[in-house]
Chain A
Amino acid sequence: MITVRGLTKYYGSLPAIQDVSFDVAAGEVLGFLGPNAAGKTTTMRILTGYMPPSGGKAVVAGYDVVEHSLEARRHIGYLPESVALYPEMSVRAYLEFMAALRGVGPARRRKQRVDEVMARCQVAHMADRPIGKLSRGYRQRVGLAQALVHDPKVLILDEPTVGLDPAQIIEVRDLIRELGRDHTIILSTHILSEVEHVCQRVMIIHEGRIVAEDTRDRLRARLKGGELLYVEIAGAPSEEITVGLLSLPHVQDVRPLGDNAYQVTCTLGSDIRAGLAQFVVQKGWQLLELRRERISLEEIFLQLTSDEPRPDQAPAGR
């Protein structure tokens, strides 16, 4: 549904994005992750036709965003980061205006569609309120409604949950997840848990370049380098426990964390929990806790966007 190759954008002599390439299949939800000023908004603005790229090309719903900008735009619903709406218009009036502009018609169908979308985004009870009088959360929902009103194939959402309270965030996230079933969505955020809950694939962008791109789970696996176990063992001095754990098969490293806790690194793909438990019991120690540790998206994000080289780093896939 979306194909991007070698997208580059310079602001003057400063590169905002360089050589960005990715694909999004129909019905997929792609998470676009990156620190501020990484290039997320720039990429989205190029896809939505707000500005042309300095180089490279992008095709949305079969239309090149530069050559056939008008057609491409017809198939896109866009929620920009700023969610700037006309403050003097009522919610309903604004949505009807945007719907008409995007070709939803005739008038009766438009009205019906606006009602549908207001209900879906839960702003129906604010329908006649001027947008300028709405709270940030409601304005965001109206923005989302505007992106949906013409039922586009593609949704491009720039930081859709920023500024919302936790309850609203959950609602928007659920809505996006629901929409993901029959829309293609690109969602940008710097809230990592959002990507965790909503997206099937994740793309991490840093300083204008894509530094990682894969499904959520594979990304985690690639960066782990090994399985991590967290154990709490009491009943012996920590040096003895450490040595003992190191003797187990598949164990690569043991790190005492204090307070009877240890982090055990095992080879990728192994699961030594049963063996470890037996071993601890045989030795007469007390096993207080045993659990698998997953490397969080946070850690992936920080690892990939920090500027320090990491020992296990191969150029993360483009």
Chain B
Amino acid sequence: MRNAFLIARRELEAYFISPIAYVVTAAMLVVLGYFFSVILFVTRQASLRPLFGGSALIVLLFVLPLLTMRLLAEEQRSGTIELLVTAPVRDGEIILGKYLASLAFYLLMLVPTLYYPVVLEVFGRPDWGPILTTYLGIILLGGSLLGVGTLASALTSNQIVAAVLGVGMALLLWLIPSLAGFVSGPLADVLQYLGLSSHIADFAKGIIDTRHVVYHLSVIAASLFLATRILETRRWR
């Protein structure tokens, strides 16, 4: 596990040098900030629920795969993967390390958004419980999206393809519940459960439902497991 942290640290340092990371952060903050302001004016409520419980989160679906697109694709393109893979490091440690770096950077990206609750506190009396659970939900949602993005990056040696694939897979996961309207019975419930969009709203309401937590952790685990397998099979070619 030490190796995973070593790789994570290196990758995180690389994030700070890459322009993409800053562009992505700026884009996310601009969009979220815009929604935050507009929603505040319209609802006049000291609550983050309309912002984070709603469709503003779509911005994460587009932005987070851009953060992960480089993780494996660039190494596979430039050949640096060869020295990583021939080091005494397990494939799983490589994937985990890179994922953790993207997660750490995501958490740093969220820090500026803390001014939203600060603004609410200064001008109103927000409920802090829901605000905290909302952030937990955002972090878990981000974790899932970053997992999917990491998997996308492992599948290709082209960063653009990795980004597009990541966004595509994220959208798919997000939109699955909308298919539930076309079917009935247990299948509809399954489709509802599988969708990312079903597992965020409750957090904004102040509820920590362990089903949602399990869902996100499962998505993360499944993505990283698949990504590790993909890395292994690339060797076989």
Contact = CB atoms under 8 A, between A and B. Distances in A.
B88 A11 contact: no
B88 A70 contact: yes
Cβ-closest 5 pairs across A and B: A84-B79, A82-B79, A84-B80, A73-B88, A48-B86
For chain A, give the interface size range.
20 to 34
Contacts of A123: none
Interface string A25-66: 000000000000000000001001111100000000000000
Contacts of A82: 79, 82
Contacts of A74: 88
B83 interface: yes
Interface in B38-92: 78-83, 85-90
Contacts of A76: 86
Contacts, number: 63
Nearest to B82: A80
Nearest to B235: A51
A50 B89 CA distance: 12
10 contacts: A11-B237, A51-B235, A71-B88, A73-B88, A84-B78, A84-B83, A85-B83, A89-B10, A97-B6, A98-B83
B17 A98 contact: no
Interface string A97-117: 110111100000000000000
A50 B85 contact: yes
Contacts of B82: 45, 50, 80, 82, 84
A70 B87 CA distance: 8
B9 to A, nearest CB: 8
Interface string B221-237: 00000000000000111
Nearest to A82: B79
Given A48-B86, A84-B80, A85-B80, A97 B237 contact: no
Contacts of B13: 89, 93
A86 interface: yes
A50 B86 CA distance: 5
Contact of A80 (B79, B89, B237): B79
A297 to B, nearest CB: 29
B37 interface: no
Interface string A139-150: 000000010000
Contacts of B79: 80, 82, 84
Contacts of B88: 70-71, 73-74, 101-103
A101 B86 contact: no
Given A70-B88, A76-B86, 11 more contacts: A45-B82, A51-B236, A52-B236, A74-B88, A78-B83, A80-B82, A84-B81, A84-B83, A86-B80, A88-B18, A101-B6
Contacts of B86: 48-50, 73, 76, 78, 80
A52 B6 contact: no
A88 B17 contact: yes
A89 B18 CA distance: 12
B14 interface: yes
B3 interface: yes
A49 B87 CA distance: 9
Contacts of B90: 70
The winner among A49, A84, A88, A146 for most chain B CB atoms within 10 A is: A84
A191 B83 CA distance: 24
B22 to A, nearest CB: 14
Contacts of B7: 101
Nearest to B10: A97
B77 to A, nearest CB: 10
Interface string A147-182: 000000000000000000000000000000000000
The winner among A73, A89, A101 for most chain B CB atoms within 10 A is: A101
Contacts of A100: 6
Contacts of B10: 86, 89, 97
A299 to B, nearest CB: 34
Contacts of B3: 101
A297 B108 CA distance: 60
Nearest to A49: B86
Contacts of A89: 10, 13-14
A103 B6 CA distance: 11
Nearest to B77: A84
B98 to A, nearest CB: 13
B80 A49 contact: no
Nearest to A69: B88
A80 B87 contact: no
Nearest to B232: A52
A52 B235 contact: yes
Nearest to A94: B10
A101 B89 contact: yes
A59 B87 CA distance: 17
Interface in B140-176: none
